[in-house]
Structure 1
Amino acid sequence: MRFSGASRQQDGSNVREAEGSERERVRYAWRLLSVVCLASLMSGINVSSLNIALPAIVAGLDAGPVGASWILLSFQLTHVTLLIFFGRLADVFGRRTMYLTGVGLFTAASLLAGAAPDVGLLIACRVLQAAGAAMLMTNSAALVTAAFPRRMLGQGLGIYMASFSLAQMLGPTVGGLVTTEWGWRWTLLLNVPIGIVCLLWGLRVMERVPRSGEPLRLDPAGNLLVVLGLGGLLVALSQGGSGDWLHPLVVAGAIAFLVAVPVFLLVEKRVAAPVVDVRLFSEPVVGIGVLAGFLGTMSRFAVVLLMGLYFQAVQGDTPSEAGLKVLPIAIASIVSAPGAGLVLRWVRARTVAVVASTVSLAGLVLLLAVIDVDTPYPLLITAVVVIGLGSGAFVPANSTAMLQDVRPDRLGITNAVRLMAQSCGVTISTALSLMLIGLPLPPDLRAHVLEGSLSRVSPDALDGLITGFRWTFGLMAVMSVLCVLASLVGRQAGRGVPGPRAAVTDLEE
């Protein structure tokens, strides 16, 4: 009996110890999540706020159309190039080290960018910002996944993803208000105190994790070819916005793109640790899902940027007014994303992706039909809210449709390819949009579009600018049609393939 009593006491002690360990792990997970969400808000708000602050930056630094484009494009190109590279470095050197380095680099680069005396130095600082943001992005979800117990992982990841949505919603409004009241430099300098708090809190909270000991496997040739190919395309598009399509930079950029793409595909088939595992595209569900995601991003990402420019350059609004006017786009996207998540419990993801992409297409067609110099705000906002509703639902639906059929051992690399394709879509969409809107105007007026001052400088030129907006939204509508078609093909390709991770009920048969 004594032995039995001692055994029960020992068992009770073990249970209490396990419960205490579990509680401590949960407390640590929430503290780590606070670091990750704060950094996510900092970087996300900064990125989206510059879409509204861009005209003030262009005017303040007297930047031409090409320089203005690269204020945004330099960040996007660097970010897409370094995402997978830093992910591999983190596997070897530790995610804590890589993450906190990213916070420090982003903060320091924001300070330098806020003090930049000319557009060249600002672009250089934006490259550094993008490197820091890539360190954050590639490690955030992995840190949260490692910290939370399995039963709470969905909650932790949900809050982390919600921080992105909140940043998307707040960014344009914060950027507009800060630019109007304090000047554009403060859209960058506000990152500094937030970054310092995040860095100090992260140093205190985040546990040191032993290095994996795995050998570092990189693909320098693949990364270089991404820079040459995508960078060449961006140079050609940004310089082509001047109207001189035979300019040496346009020709050189186009040649670099056309040569780098096929060479990249050949190289990636032969290296041990490719930037993009091109063998994934031999699986129809994955290949079509990546294509649909790329086309969807191409057709919708630049809407906030374009509408911010429209309200300032055409209707003469201040940055704060423009920021408030585009706010419903983000709200619509935030509302529809979790709504789509609920629908996915009962309806096939591919069906939801088709419907969502069709809704976005309807919004783009409506916007193309109504946009003019004096279009009433309710008409414009109806169109862009419809776009936002479709866009918010499409991303989770298309991602689920693609990833649920992937073998667990290939899930990580497939998701990395998905993110890279979407990032490429973001970058190319921005470059095309900034090029097209100014093409119908005389060269001496194009800079005033990106300054947001065309309505004051030359009201007679506004009809030409509206033509540029129509060209741009027309191209986006074409991309959206292709996205719908890709989603339909993906729906057919996925029939009868339940996949090892499928968790939705098939109601379409």
Structure 2
Amino acid sequence: MVAIPPDVPGSPEYTLKLRYAWRVCSVASLGMLLIGISGSTLNVALPEVVRHFHADAFASGWILLAFLLVNTASLVFFGRVADLLGRKEVYLAGFALFAVASLLAGLSPGVWFLIAMRVIQAVGAAMILANGTVIITDAFPPDRLSQGMGVYIGTLSVAQLTGPTLGGLVAQAAGWQWIFWVNVPPALVAVVWGGFTLHRLPRGPREPVDALGNILVFALLSAALVTLSEAGSRGLSSPVVIVGAVVVAALTPALFVVERRVSHPVLDVRLFGQRMLAFANLASFCSALARAALILLVALYFQAARGVDSVTAALSVLPLPIGLGIASPIAGALGRRISPYALSVGGALVSTAGLAMLMLTTDPATPYWIVGTGLLLCGCGNGAFLTGNTTQVMAALPSGSLGVVNGFRLMIINVGVVLSVAVTLSVLTSAVTPELRAQVYAGTLSSVSPVAVGQLMDGFQRTYAVLFAVALTGVLASVLSRPTRSGPTPPESAPPGPSGSTGAAVAMTGTDPVAMTGSDPVASGADGAPVPRRADGNPASR
């Protein structure tokens, strides 16, 4: 009798690995659920928090932006820390830190203390997000990765489905503090369940942390966000906006110069040398920029323009997460028959169509079914895109580069998220006078005058137009991310990584990562779909 290789479906080892993989998926999905709910509840309940603290427009924006800034700037850092200290340990520590920060946020005596707790929440979230996708990728057999990724990303839809409703109900019935306190129980459950479930993952090579690069990324993003926030609050002629724009212009080339010279950069520009990864990451960035602020934008539309309460606004945005929840698992199941490339392109097109519908029908009197249909299209498109794009990128990477490259990928996405919120708030509030901008955040503008509402409608149309243009760019990037059948050989200067594979820092120096590892875990078939490989290099059964 011929022994069945352990990574081929039907073998006992494969069955055990798959069972463990789904347990890992439950832990990772809990992390995605926690962070997704935390963000979506606050997006809807932000007016309640703003009214409680009597926050001005600048502080109101930073309740959201402080979390996004710190989370984005520290993702790659914690990807590297996890390689050094252990992925399981850093991952679970992130849940514990998130629970403590959420508890203290609900006890905030003032708005700036709340913003400080949001910063600590962001550190915990970075420790979780920098490792979740890597843990999923490591646990699943290659031929089941798209299914696991579909469920993992699908939990984001569950979070966005329950988060807005939960945020509206909690803020109105129990008080704004419970928006943060509801995070504590699931975070503690994740620590316990993850401690029992997760195996210790092998640590990455002990490579230095790019301290200067991390500082420059943080400074550049900070300057960009302050500039955008100030532009939305006080206009483009503000001295802070002018100085901030100069700082951004100076730091951008400085960052690229520094990162090209360090051995293990936080922002490895060489990762854009491989065409598929370059355009796939660009598509991810555009998708995040066009998608991330939609729930916030639509919730403000219903509260500030239509004058509804937070519960009604929360129910009104539900088609977006419902669409995401429908599309993500379906896309994951189709991933064994349809290439991730096709899923990402199709998803990008559908979500762009949804934004076009919202852009062309923005008015206080627009029938809800039109708004709901636009949101549903955006949700379905993003669910398919996220599943396809993530699988396309992660399946092409050698195991030795997963940590840093995934951290880099998430940082690119989170930069899009940060800019989405900042650009959306800035463009939206620029349409009304400075005296009325705080009332947009507080959700009370509809009680001022029809003229003020008309000005705000202009702001909504401009904002949707900007997001639509970004989404179109994402469609083009998705089309251009088509994987090549074979890649060039790696450069001779590539330093060795773990287990003889090429190191993470040079994984994508214009070469095919599969060709460099010599272990071809996933290659492209004749139809462009990923074909799992056994250890001996032969195709596994699909």
TM-score, normalised to structure 1, is 0.87
Structure 2: stretches of 5+ with no match in the other structure: 1-10, 488-511, 515-521, 530-542
- Which secondary structure does the structure 1 equivalent of 2:467 belong to? helix
In 2: Cα distance, 1:398 partner to 1:480 partner: 15
Structure 1 residues 25 and 478: CA distance shift in structure 2, 3 A = closer
Conserved in 1, the CA contact under 8 Å of 2:88 and 2:201?
A: no
Conserved in 2, the CA contact under 8 Å of 1:241 and 1:439?
A: yes
- Which secondary structure does the structure 2 equivalent of 1:75 belong to? helix
In 2: Cα distance, 1:193 partner to 1:403 partner: 31
- Higher relative helix content: 1
Structure 2 residue 281 is the aligned partner of structure 1 residue 290: yes
- Which secondary structure does the structure 2 equivalent of 1:502 belong to? strand
Q: 1:72 aligns with which of 37, 45, 64?
A: 64
Deviation at 1:65, TM superposition (A): 1.2
Deviation string, structure 1 residues 20-79 (Cα, Å, up to 9, x no partner): 999998887766655444343222211111110111111111111111111111111111
Deviation string, structure 1 residues 135-188 (Cα, Å, up to 9, x no partner): 112233444566678898776655444433321221111111111211221110
TM-score, normalised to structure 2, is 0.82
Deviation at 1:420, TM superposition (A): 1.5
Structure 2 residue 375 is the aligned partner of structure 1 residue 375: no
Q: 1:421 aligns with which of 399, 405, 412?
A: 412
Structure 2 residue 457 is the aligned partner of structure 1 residue 436: no
1:274 matched residue in structure 2: 265
- Which secondary structure does the structure 2 equivalent of 1:237 belong to? helix
Conserved in 1, the CA contact under 8 Å of 2:153 and 2:387?
A: no
1:364 matched residue in structure 2: 355
Deviation string, structure 1 residues 322-355 (Cα, Å, up to 9, x no partner): 1111111111122122333444444444344333
1:95 matched residue in structure 2: 87
In 1: Cα distance, 2:97 partner to 2:397 partner: 35
Structure 1 residues 475 and 158: CA distance shift in structure 2, 3 A = closer
Structure 1: stretches of 5+ with no match in the other structure: 1-18
Deviation at 1:99, TM superposition (A): 2.4
1:11 matched residue in structure 2: none
Matched to 2:317, the amino acid is V
- Which secondary structure does the structure 2 equivalent of 1:239 belong to? helix
In 2: Cα distance, 1:207 partner to 1:358 partner: 37
Matched to 1:112, the amino acid is L
Q: More displaced, 164-173 or 377-386?
A: 164-173
- Which secondary structure does the structure 1 equivalent of 2:363 belong to? coil
Q: 1:191 aligns with which of 156, 180, 183?
A: 183
1:478 matched residue in structure 2: 469
In 2: Cα distance, 1:96 partner to 1:181 partner: 37
Give the alignment's Cα RMSD to 1 decimal: 3.0
Q: 1:262 aligns with which of 253, 256, 271?
A: 253
In 1: Cα distance, 2:452 partner to 2:223 partner: 31
Q: 1:116 aligns with which of 84, 92, 108?
A: 108
- Which secondary structure does the structure 1 equivalent of 2:264 belong to? coil
In 2: Cα distance, 1:39 partner to 1:283 partner: 31
In 1: Cα distance, 2:199 partner to 2:523 partner: 35
Structure 2 residue 523 is the aligned partner of structure 1 residue 502: yes
**Identical positions, percent:** 39
Deviation string, structure 1 residues 380-413 (Cα, Å, up to 9, x no partner): 1111212222222222233344455556655554
1:4 matched residue in structure 2: none
Conserved in 1, the CA contact under 8 Å of 2:307 and 2:444?
A: yes
Structure 1 residues 345 and 392: CA distance shift in structure 2, 3 A = same
Conserved in 1, the CA contact under 8 Å of 2:284 and 2:412?
A: yes
Structure 1 residues 37 and 359: CA distance shift in structure 2, 3 A = closer
Deviation at 1:109, TM superposition (A): 0.7
Conserved in 2, the CA contact under 8 Å of 1:354 and 1:488?
A: yes
Structure 1 residues 93 and 402: CA distance shift in structure 2, 3 A = closer
Q: More displaced, 398-407 or 293-302?
A: 398-407
Conserved in 2, the CA contact under 8 Å of 1:268 and 1:276?
A: yes
Alignment of 1:202-351 (within 5 A): 202-203=194-195, 205=196, 209=200, 212=203, 214-351=205-342
Conserved in 1, the CA contact under 8 Å of 2:151 and 2:329?
A: no
- Which secondary structure does the structure 2 equivalent of 1:241 belong to? helix
In 2: Cα distance, 1:149 partner to 1:488 partner: 27
Conserved in 1, the CA contact under 8 Å of 2:148 and 2:332?
A: no
Q: 2:389 aligns with which of 365, 383, 398?
A: 398
Matched to 2:523, the amino acid is A
Say which one has the larger Rg.
Answer: 1
Structure 1 residues 407 and 443: CA distance shift in structure 2, 3 A = same
Structure 1 residues 153 and 104: CA distance shift in structure 2, 3 A = same
Conserved in 2, the CA contact under 8 Å of 1:228 and 1:256?
A: no
2:375 matched residue in structure 1: 384
